């Protein structure tokens, strides 16, 4: 015997233009029946919180599933799986053009249908938001559910057993040293890796190249300095790892869509107390007291 609860949705064409929509959600546990063989025209994330089972790939091989785990069901790919008694799963059906980008970034992996997870708590929390949104008469159902699918994809990416919650340790080291004037090859050498090994690690952990990963961090820091300080653009360029301010300005303009000077004119403001890399506690956001620096920021 098994227990099941599920809801299915039909988002409007306007909701589909959000880029990602939820088509259904379900919670099931117990002695579930086999699923498939079948082929779907949309994505499904099946999150297994307890139990064991098997998944049969397209080449006919059976792979053991042991919770916590994730099964990716992707459009046009035949799938066939079965749980043992004691199985506990939740699933979310979704579709939209944003799935292509999530696949490019490595959040969805069609070539790896069964993914071991470290835990399912954050994923189940995101699914719980869809379940709550499915209450009768909720006028915000489609938008709330779509937002929760985005959260779910991030939660599943963080919970993958092959990387920590903050990604590969190399990513953390790259983020720490991102504003140093080092080439990708020099970054690789500092970690005892070849450039190809570094590219593979960053692609696996962040879904992009080392160059793009470093550039995003550098430009983010440059924006903070342009907005929160009066440093000349050349000084900002040096602070984020570029000795040539003209090259930095061209790069900034190409990626941001406006020049550093124009960005400062649009966004600039005086920030009492300056900037800090310190992250405030979630329940204690920075506050500004009259006549004093920003709490939690460097002076």
Closest CA to 108 of 99, 117, 116: 99
169-177 vs 210-228: helix crossing angle, rounded to 10: 40
> How far apart (Å, rounded) are the C-alpha atoms in residues 280 and 54?
44
Q: Is 44 in a helix, a strand, or coil?
A: strand
Contact present, 51 and 86 (Cβ < 8 Å): yes
Q: For 71, phi and psi rounded to 5 degrees?
A: -115, 125
- Helix or strand run (H / E) with residue 28: strand 21-30
Q: Is 227 in a helix, a strand, or coil?
A: helix
Contact present, 78 and 58 (Cβ < 8 Å): yes
User: What architecture is domain 2-158?
Assistant: Sandwich (2.60)
Closest CA to 95 of 153, 47, 138: 153
Q: Can you give the residue ranges of every domain in the chain?
A: 2-158, 169-267
Contact present, 11 and 94 (Cβ < 8 Å): no
Sheet of 21-30, strand order: 2-8, 21-30, 87-95, 43-50, 69-73, 114-116
> How far apart (Å, rounded) are the C-alpha atoms in residues 228 and 276?
11
Strand partners, 69: 48, 116
Q: Which two tokens stand for residue 296?
A: 């939690």
> How far apart (Å, rounded) are the C-alpha atoms in residues 100 and 106?
10
Q: What is the pLDDT of residue 294?
A: 45
Q: What is the pLDDT of residue 289?
A: 57
Q: What is the pLDDT of residue 295?
A: 44
**CATH superfamily, region 169-267:** Homeodomain-like (1.10.10.60)
Residues counted in the chain: 299
Contact present, 68 and 160 (Cβ < 8 Å): no
pLDDT tens digits for the chain (299 residues)? 778 999 999 999 999 999 999 999 999 998 889 998 999 999 999 999 999 999 998 888 899 999 999 999 999 999 999 999 889 999 999 999 999 999 988 899 998 999 999 999 999 999 999 999 999 999 999 999 999 999 999 999 989 877 655 556 788 888 888 888 888 888 888 888 888 988 888 887 777 888 998 999 999 999 999 988 889 999 999 999 999 999 999 999 999 999 999 999 888 665 555 555 565 666 676 665 555 444 444 43
Contact present, 215 and 248 (Cβ < 8 Å): no
Q: What is the pLDDT of residue 183?
A: 86
Query: What is the DSSP track for 133-201?
Result: HTSTT-TTHHHHHHHHHHHHHHHHHHTBTTSBTTB-HHHHHHHHHTTSS--HHHHHHHTT--HHHHHHH
> How far apart (Å, rounded) are the C-alpha atoms in residues 124 and 134?
15
């Amino acid at each position: 015997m098994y227990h099941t609860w599920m809801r299915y949705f039909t988002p409007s064409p306007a909701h589909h233009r959000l880029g990602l929509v939820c088509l259904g959600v379900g919670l099931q546990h117990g002695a579930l029946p086999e699923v498939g063989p079948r082929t779907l025209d949309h994505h499904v994330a099946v999150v297994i919180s307890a139990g064991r089972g098997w998944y049969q790939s397209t080449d006919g091989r059976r792979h053991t599933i042991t919770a916590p785990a994730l099964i990716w069901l992707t459009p046009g790919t035949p799938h066939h799986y079965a749980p043992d008694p004691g199985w506990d799963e939740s699933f979310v059906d979704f579709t939209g053009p944003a799935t292509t980008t999530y696949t490019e970034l490595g959040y969805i992996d069609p070539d790896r249908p069964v993914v071991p997870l470290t835990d399912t708590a954050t994923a189940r929390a995101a699914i719980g938001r869809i379940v709550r949104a499915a209450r009768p008469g909720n006028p915000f159902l489609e938008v709330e559910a779509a937002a929760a699918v985005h959260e779910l994809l991030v939660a599943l990416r963080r919970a993958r057993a092959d990387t920590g919650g903050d990604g590969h340790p190399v990513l953390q080291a790259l983020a720490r040293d991102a504003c140093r004037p080092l080439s990708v090859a020099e970054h690789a050498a500092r970690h005892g890796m070849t450039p190809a090994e570094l590219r593979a690690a960053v692609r696996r952990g962040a879904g992009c190249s080392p160059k793009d990963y470093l550039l995003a961090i550098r430009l983010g820091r440059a924006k903070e300095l342009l907005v929160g300080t009066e440093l000349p653009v050349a000084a900002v360029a040096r602070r984020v790892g570029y000795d040539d301010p003209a090259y930095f300005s061209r790069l900034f303009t190409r990626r941001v869509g406006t020049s550093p000077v124009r960005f400062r004119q649009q966004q600039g403001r005086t920030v009492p107390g300056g900037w800090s890399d310190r992250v405030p506690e979630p329940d204690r956001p920075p506050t500004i007291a009259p006549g004093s620096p920003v709490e939690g920021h460097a002076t």
